[in-house]
Structure 1
Amino acid sequence: MAVESTPSGSVKETYDKGNLDVEQHAVAEAHLKNTTIRNLTWKGVTVTVKDRETKLPKAIVENVEGIVEAGEMCALMGPSGCGKTTLLNVLASRPTGAQKVEGAVLVNGSKPSRDTFREMSRFVEQEDALIGALTVRETLNFASRLASTSSLPKRERIARIDGLLDSFGLVSQAETLIGTPIRKGISGGQKRRVGVASQLITSPKILFLDEPTSGLDSVASWEVMSYLKGVAKRNNLIVIASIHQPSTAVFNLFDKLLLLSAGQPHYFGSVSDVSAHYESVGHEVPLHVNPAEYLLELVNIDFSPNRESAASNLEEQQRAWAASPRAAEVSRAIAQIESSSGGSEVVLETAEKKPSAPSLVVTLLHRSFVKSYRDVVAYGIRFAMYTGLAIMMGTVWLRLDAAQESIIPLTNAIFYGSAFMSFMAVAYCPAYLEDYLQFVKEKHNGLYGATELIVSNFLIGIPYLFLISLIFSAISYWLSNFQPTASAFFTWVFWLFLDLLAAEGLVVFMTSLFPSFVISLALVAFANGLWMSVDGFMVQPTILNVFYKYVFHFWDYQKYVFENMMVNEFSERVYTCGKGPDGGCQCMWQTDLADQCLIRGQGVLDQYGYKPGYMGKDVGIMMGIIVGYRIAAWIVLKLKR
């Protein structure tokens, strides 16, 4: 297939080049062909929201209809705020946040179920969520493993990946990282191509793209859309893209155009016929002018000096389109497709099976593992941070003796070591936020759900958090001279590990609830500040006021960590008393060993109301809190649309 129009200096016979084997494409893209999808139609699409000022219903998309055949690319164009993205979300069966959505979106003239539509379609966001620590090839590989293509032999999946890398001009970048804030990766245009390719490999029949050329220069924009056009033509793929101010070369790549203004349709039909339509209503497209720019200026009244006159002219244009033979032809074509379908269900003819839940969890675990050791933001920074904290703690509370004057410092060290370890779990917010955004995209595309994310996220953290607990304890515990026995040391490690598991669960819950770095960071910090205040150190449980004791104290995970670390240190240890002004023995804690000038550690615990023997029950409660945070996050993810 020859290229219709290319930017200067960028002429690439992308689909006829000699090094592209036809058989390779047949293998690489066979998964796009086993379908019965012939067209996508929509009619009477109207989206109503509540006006912020008047509080009355307001239509932001009104009575829009259209039809796109298999193998065609359709552009949604219009000025900012005209309803392009809203309409794209409606067509893609995605949430819009609107008060009311009316109309029908049909495949082959019939309305598919939500699950079927998600299986056959994919959506590429304007800012596509990609995991920066993965290479281009790994991104496509994991996308393939999460989709129905995972059931294919590994050799065939690799062939498909190679075919898409070749088709999208990404062969030389195959082993390059996508890029993180710390490590530079591929360019913006290449990221767009990776985003599209990662959706194509998951067997879509319909592809939606939100501003795929936003932020790209004309050459990169043409490259992205021209590669996509070739794939669409070869595989009868339906492509619908909202696009803003395309160049002439990019504009001419589209087969159809839907032009919107103030939510109303001003044109729908072939790109090649748009000039003829506007000429027929008195707006001839000037020669040597980008028709896309001219049309956008024509339907944009935001910067008109005379808004009333411009608005009146815009209404005339809309009425002219509604009364035009082309509009009537679109309505007739949609009605004919709908009547010929007979209401039959859409069937996807494919032998590929969706992966099972355990398989999805394993794939997500593998992807998270690769990310965890490459992306220092995930765990590397936390390892360094906790190691630094351990050194600082061990050298500040250095070699404390088993003496009366060390009891308060030891208590302070126990609180500091446990509370600040959990507080610093806020560093996990950006890493989980990247996983969350990836999940949102993949959930909308029907690849997996909240259960797989929560389970895999929990499992991948276990070895890292245990290693952090062990390293931190190995440094700080012995430097500070806590109870010097192996059993006491490993009990400390165990409680620190549970502390970090609970703290990370809190991060996952808060970030799932409010997926904003600043908000989740603030909420996690606030919650940990509250837990510090009521865990029993600041105010002893015996005198903590009733409200905080019964509302927060008993489900504060730091409470159980602090209590059991205190029991671990003091329940079986004896401390020497100090000397009074007269040189005699003076014990700050009176116990049964006072006559020996000693303090039994249980005397310290009595002030807090702590007693040994409750570790099993407390471990059970901690497990409940840890699992509870994950279940809460799961519920949030399930309820979010």
Structure 2
Amino acid sequence: MGSPIPLVDTGTLGPDLERNESQQFLMNRTVQNFSWSGLTVTVKDRQSKQATDLINSITGDVKQGELVALMGPSGCGKTTLLNVLARRPAGSGAKVMGDSYVNGVRIDNGAFGRMTSYVEQEDALIGSLTVRETLKFAADLSLPSSVSKGQRIERIRTLLEAFGIQQQANTLVGTPIRKGISGGQKRRVSVVSQLITCPKILFLDEPTSGLDSRASFEVISYAKELARANNIIIIASIHQPSTTTFELFDKLLLLSAGRTCYFGPVAAVDDYFRDIGHPIPDHTNPAEFLLDIVSSDFGNAKGLGVAQDRVKKIQQSWADSAEAQAITRQVSDQVRQEGKDDGKVEVDDLARPGGARITAALLHRSFIKSYRDVVAYGIRIVMYLGLAIMMGTVWLRLHPSQDYIQPFVNAIFFGSAFMSFMAVAYVPAFLEDRANFAKERANGLYGATPFVISNFLIGLPFLFIISMLFSIVSYWLSNFRPGGDAFMTWVMWIFLDLVAAESLVVFVTAMFPNFVISLALVAFANGLWMSVGGFLVTPKILNPFWKYVFHYIDYQAYVFQGMMVNEFSQRNYSCGTGCHCMYTTDLADQCQIRGTGVLETYGYATGRTGKWVGILVGIIAVYRLFGWIALHLRKT
């Protein structure tokens, strides 16, 4: 299994821990046990409007170094109980009752979060990072500056060896496009990334989900070795383990319909169920047998009733058993012995890196992801270059004559509108970032502010590169107004257009972290902005409702205005043979059209570029602020 994983030395957490006796108790004393009493989660049934228990009066106690299996049929309340034990939301509108204790003492959520970690069922890993980089950034985001670089490297090396993934240290985790490590190795990386802070209690939600029996055995074996070597308490929800995997666990908490059917040593399961009339047959997977006898969701009407009666008897047998009474007394004795501490425990600032360090680490991680993950910006760069070539060759070598005025306008609209519309390609990349943020925020590493700041800053250079590449190809092929100042002004508008479009993606996806929903809403919003932006219907005749409700908050409208002014404010166009000018301006007697005449038909004035840029920056800021609010308020 490798060498034992050393826990963080208390000295590295800083001397300020001594300022609070309760805090010193948490950090300097080993967690001898973790217990809970009478845990109940109640929700209101949508149909009957009556209160329904998701879990009911669950009591348990786990000692240091123990590995506990939380098992039961689907819908029995495993994940709900695991979330409650980990101090996570139990569900929308759920009411939680009961207490949990560390060494017989109630502690506040902040201190509890610092001594625990939670590995979710889904591997929320960044696929474009290597295994070593994943652990490095986990350390940067969680360990204080007092832990030196050398100590971090040594801790990462030890964890890699302990979990048998040192050979994959420089292998990418893997993306849909680039193959990486296996599913079992990903589960181990997920666990290891939460062990950087050396938690005293580790929660695993379905750690063997999607793995074959061999990979499942390996993951649980490493977890067991970890628990024993470092006196860590590990509680894992698990669905249907193989016999060999099941026997690795020290204790079993068996649930059915939110109630306890058994809690105790795995070695005593056979004797207990034999005593209550349900002996485990020889040569049978005990986990499979137990799940069968506590499940009451399948069968015909008669069989369903028999199953429900059987489960109720098993639940009642446990409630009346000497084992259940002993656990209740044990928890009660621990609480009386240690005494109750209902006060808030102060969380030391040195326990986590500061906001600047976290933001810098997120920026570094995002930079690596951005240039390695072709989904983030690589595909988009190719896509925008393709759009530039298409635009430049469709509107090829337009001439400064009145026959080409409308094609110029069409090209400006196409370039601005479709550049922002194609920002929908950023949705999958941001969804991956958001999922990783949700996992790390739930484990108390950082909040929405560093994530939003780093996400915004890392996108700027890539979006500027895209704007420049697109403009170099399309601007000169289409023969827009020549001159360096005109070209750079065009680049500026394209850049602001892309930043606003990406900010819209961040806002919508932060609110609705679902690929299909986010894609549909972003596409709809961009379609709306195209409709009211001023090209399809000029602002002069646009319906007042659409004009005053949507036109003035449409970032595409300001980009279109700015690009129109950039092209037409300082350029004249010939009227062609016969001097029949389409636009009447002061140059009609010279058989020419002053470009400002075109602008007047749209109701656009010159000299307002600064104002429009300011409004665009404001729109971008509002989108990012709304995205921050959505991430801050939405906990999943």
TM range (shorter): over 0.9
Partner of 1:7: none
Counterparts of 1:614-625 in structure 2 under 5 Å?
614-625=608-619
Counterpart of 1:393, as a letter, is M
Deviations 1:355-380 (A, max 9, x none): 11011010000000111111100000
Deviations 1:26-56 (A, max 9, x none): 4889889954422211111111223244232
**CA positional deviation for 1:349:** 11
Counterparts of 1:456-535 in structure 2 under 5 Å?
456-535=454-533
- Cα–Cα, structure 1 residues 290 and 346, in superposed 2: closer, same or farther, change >3 Å? farther
**CA positional deviation for 1:347:** 7.1
User: What SS does the aligned partner of 2:351 have?
Assistant: coil
User: What SS does the aligned partner of 1:578 have?
Assistant: coil
Confirm or deny: 8 A CA contact 1:587 1:597 kept in the other structure.
yes
Confirm or deny: 8 A CA contact 2:7 2:198 kept in the other structure.
no
Partner of 1:190: 185
User: What SS does the aligned partner of 1:292 have?
Assistant: helix
* Stretch moving more, 34-43 or 72-81: 34-43
**CA positional deviation for 1:194:** 0.4
Counterpart of 1:337, as a letter, is Q
**1: CA distance between counterparts of 2:6 and 2:451?**
34
Confirm or deny: 8 A CA contact 1:149 1:202 kept in the other structure.
no
Partner of 2:57: 63
User: What SS does the aligned partner of 1:523 have?
Assistant: helix
Confirm or deny: 8 A CA contact 2:79 2:205 kept in the other structure.
yes
Counterpart of 1:311, as a letter, is Q
**2: CA distance between counterparts of 1:207 and 1:470?**
48
Confirm or deny: 8 A CA contact 1:501 1:626 kept in the other structure.
yes
Partner of 1:8: none
Confirm or deny: 8 A CA contact 1:132 1:180 kept in the other structure.
yes
Counterpart of 2:620, as a letter, is I
Confirm or deny: 8 A CA contact 1:266 1:321 kept in the other structure.
yes
Counterpart of 1:357, as a letter, is G
Deviations 1:150-183 (A, max 9, x none): 5411111000000000000001111110000000
**2: CA distance between counterparts of 1:136 and 1:235?**
23
Instruction: Please state if 1:543 is matched with 2:515.
Output: no
Partner of 2:575: 577
**CA positional deviation for 1:249:** 1.5
Residues paired across the two proteins, number: 617
Confirm or deny: 8 A CA contact 1:49 1:99 kept in the other structure.
yes
Which ranges of structure 2 fall in alignment gaps of 5 or more residues? 14-26
Partner of 1:558: 556
Partner of 2:115: 120
**CA positional deviation for 1:304:** 3.9
Partner of 1:414: 412
Q: Which of 296, 303, 308 in structure 1 is aligned with 2:305?
A: 308
**1: CA distance between counterparts of 2:611 and 2:206?**
55
User: What SS does the aligned partner of 2:70 have?
Assistant: strand
Partner of 2:272: 277
Provide runs of 4+ in structure 1 moved above 6 Å.
27-33, 345-351
Identity of aligned residues (%): 60
Deviations 1:210-262 (A, max 9, x none): 11011211211111111111111111111110001111221111111110011
Partner of 1:568: 566
Q: Which of 300, 314, 321 in structure 2 is aligned with 1:317?
A: 314
Deviations 1:418-456 (A, max 9, x none): 000000000000000000000000000000110011000
Confirm or deny: 8 A CA contact 1:133 1:179 kept in the other structure.
yes
Q: Which of 443, 448, 451 in structure 2 is aligned with 1:450?
A: 448
CA RMSD for the aligned pairs?
1.8
- Cα–Cα, structure 1 residues 101 and 387, in superposed 2: closer, same or farther, change >3 Å? same
**1: CA distance between counterparts of 2:381 and 2:540?**
36
Counterpart of 1:44, as a letter, is G
Deviations 1:359-403 (A, max 9, x none): 101000000011111110000000000000000000100010000
**1: CA distance between counterparts of 2:584 and 2:299?**
86
* Stretch moving more, 200-209 or 630-639: 200-209
**CA positional deviation for 1:346:** 9.1
**2: CA distance between counterparts of 1:361 and 1:35?**
32
Deviations 1:293-327 (A, max 9, x none): 11111101223441112211211111111010000
**2: CA distance between counterparts of 1:554 and 1:186?**
49
Q: Which of 385, 391, 394 in structure 1 is aligned with 2:392?
A: 394
**2: CA distance between counterparts of 1:206 and 1:508?**
34
Confirm or deny: 8 A CA contact 1:207 1:240 kept in the other structure.
yes
TM-score, with structure 1 as normaliser: 0.94
**1: CA distance between counterparts of 2:230 and 2:145?**
20
Confirm or deny: 8 A CA contact 1:563 1:610 kept in the other structure.
yes
**1: CA distance between counterparts of 2:176 and 2:50?**
44
- Cα–Cα, structure 1 residues 349 and 162, in superposed 2: closer, same or farther, change >3 Å? farther
Partner of 1:108: 103
Confirm or deny: 8 A CA contact 2:111 2:347 kept in the other structure.
no
Q: Which of 101, 118, 134 in structure 2 is aligned with 1:139?
A: 134
**2: CA distance between counterparts of 1:626 and 1:86?**
39
Q: Which of 268, 288, 303 in structure 1 is aligned with 2:263?
A: 268
**1: CA distance between counterparts of 2:539 and 2:371?**
41
Which ranges of structure 1 fall in alignment gaps of 5 or more residues? 1-13
Q: Which of 302, 324, 328 in structure 1 is aligned with 2:325?
A: 328
**CA positional deviation for 1:351:** 11
Partner of 1:592: 586
**1: CA distance between counterparts of 2:201 and 2:145?**
20
**1: CA distance between counterparts of 2:225 and 2:346?**
23
- Cα–Cα, structure 1 residues 184 and 35, in superposed 2: closer, same or farther, change >3 Å? farther
- Cα–Cα, structure 1 residues 343 and 108, in superposed 2: closer, same or farther, change >3 Å? same
**2: CA distance between counterparts of 1:373 and 1:46?**
48
Instruction: Please state if 1:258 is matched with 2:253.
Output: yes
**2: CA distance between counterparts of 1:563 and 1:351?**
49
* Stretch moving more, 100-109 or 545-554: 100-109
Partner of 1:289: 284
Q: Which of 70, 84, 89 in structure 1 is aligned with 2:83?
A: 89
**CA positional deviation for 1:354:** 1.2
- Cα–Cα, structure 1 residues 35 and 183, in superposed 2: closer, same or farther, change >3 Å? farther
